[in-house]
Amino acid sequence: MTITSKPSASPRSLNEPVLSVKGVTLEYPDGSDGVLTALDSVSLSIGPGEMHSLVGPSGSGKSSLLAVAATLISPTRGSVRIDGEEVTDLRRRRRDHIRREKIGMIFQQPNLLASLTAEEQLVMVEDFRGVSRRDAVSRAREALEVVGLSNAGQRRPHQLSGGQRQRVNIARALMGSPSVLLVDEPTAALDHDRSESIVRLLRRLTDEMGLATLMVTHDTDFVPLTDVVVTMRDGVLSDPVRTKTAAGPALSD
């Protein structure tokens, strides 16, 4: 099996975005009798091979939007479609299935198990999917190669640098051949050079695998590597702004 975009068996039509969020409002109970509006009528859409940056101050709702897009939280109102399928009103089992098969999630801190090698962290994900051990190992090796870690498969997290751990994390997110990649501040714990190579890797994967990628970032330096930037303020999302330089030769690898 190859780590590439899946032939789509979904209702998404040709011009439809892979990830589409429409009019999403998310309210949390505020601890007394009221509600805190974390997302206020948020809309965005991301097509295959597109990478969008999501910026905005701390507490503005960025992670909440990722959690809604990841089907981890159901919005109070509004619609989330993945590959053309409405996911907000699905039963839990179907939602879990979609999350496992269609969504790759990457968070700031690679949540790796200390006792497992890089390869074992990835094989474990495939075990949950019911993939045979042999196929799982071969997919894991392929994913490690894709992120530039083919020689590090037998190392445990403490034998890897911060950047390498984040690459394992990225490889793990690719194991299900997702169509959507949701990334929350992937470079917050890294220095500038390592951060840049992680963002460039995400850019390349987005292009090569035709992913719809949404990346929360503090680092506005890397916004020009993405196609579109949106800004969150107090739960309200700005209109999308195309980054002029995204396709410029100076920024290609």
Contact positions vs ligand ADP (CB under 6 A): 28, 36, 38, 56, 58-64
Integer Cα distance of 229 and 249 in angstroms: 19
Decide whether 23 or 59 has the Cβ nearer to ligand ADP: 59
Based on CB atoms, which residue is closest to ligand ADP, 62 or 81?
62
Report the alpha-carbon distance of residue 99 to residue 176 in Å, rounded.
10
Minimum CB–partner distance for residue 44 and Mg ion (Å): 16
The sign one gets for the Cα dihedral 169, 49, 227, 84 is negative
**Between residues 60 and 166, which has the closer beta carbon with respect to ligand ADP?**
60
Q: Does 213 bind Mg ion (CB under 5 A)?
A: no
Residues 108-140 as b or e (16 or more Cβ within 10 Å = b)? bebebeeeebbbbbbbebbeeeebeeeebbbbb
Helix 118-129 vs helix 162-174: angle between axes, to the nearest 10 degrees? 20
Quote the least distance from Cβ 121 to ligand ADP, whole Å.
25
Judged by beta carbon distances under 5 to 8 A according to partner kind, the member of ligand ADP, Mg ion, none in contact with residue 105 is: none
Amino acid at residue number 235:
G
Question: 141: part of which helix (H) or strand (E)?
Answer: helix 133-146
185 or 227, CB closer to ligand ADP?
185
Q: Closer CB to ligand ADP, residue 28 or residue 128? A: 28
Contact 43, 66 (CB under 8 A): no
Q: Which residue's Cβ lies closest to Mg ion?
A: 63
Q: Report d(CA 82, CA 84) in Å as an integer.
A: 5
Structural tokens at position 140: 């894991």
Q: Which does 13 bind (CB under 5 to 8 A by kind): Mg ion, ligand ADP, none?
A: none
- State the minimum distance, in angstroms, from the CB of residue 60 to ligand ADP: 4
The distance of closest approach from Cβ of residue 240 to ligand ADP in the complex, given in angstroms and rounded to an integer, is: 18
Q: Which does 64 bind (CB under 5 to 8 A by kind): Mg ion, ligand ADP, none?
A: ligand ADP
**For Mg ion, the closer CB: 53 or 63:** 63
Choosing from 20, 60, 63, 166, the residue that interacts with Mg ion (CB under 5 A) is 63
Report, in Å, the least distance between residue 200 CB and ligand ADP.
24
How near is the Cβ of 185 to Mg ion at its closest, in Å?
A: 7
The closest of 42, 24, 182 to 103, measured between CA atoms, is 182
Question: For Mg ion, which stretch binds (CB under 5 A), given 23-31, 58-66, 88-96, 136-144?
Answer: 58-66
Nearer to ligand ADP, 39 or 118 (CB): 39
Residue 178 token pair: 């997702």
Q: How far apart are CA 143 and CA 163, in angstroms?
A: 16
Q: Report what 121 binds from Mg ion, ligand ADP, none; CB cut-off 5-8 Å by kind.
A: none
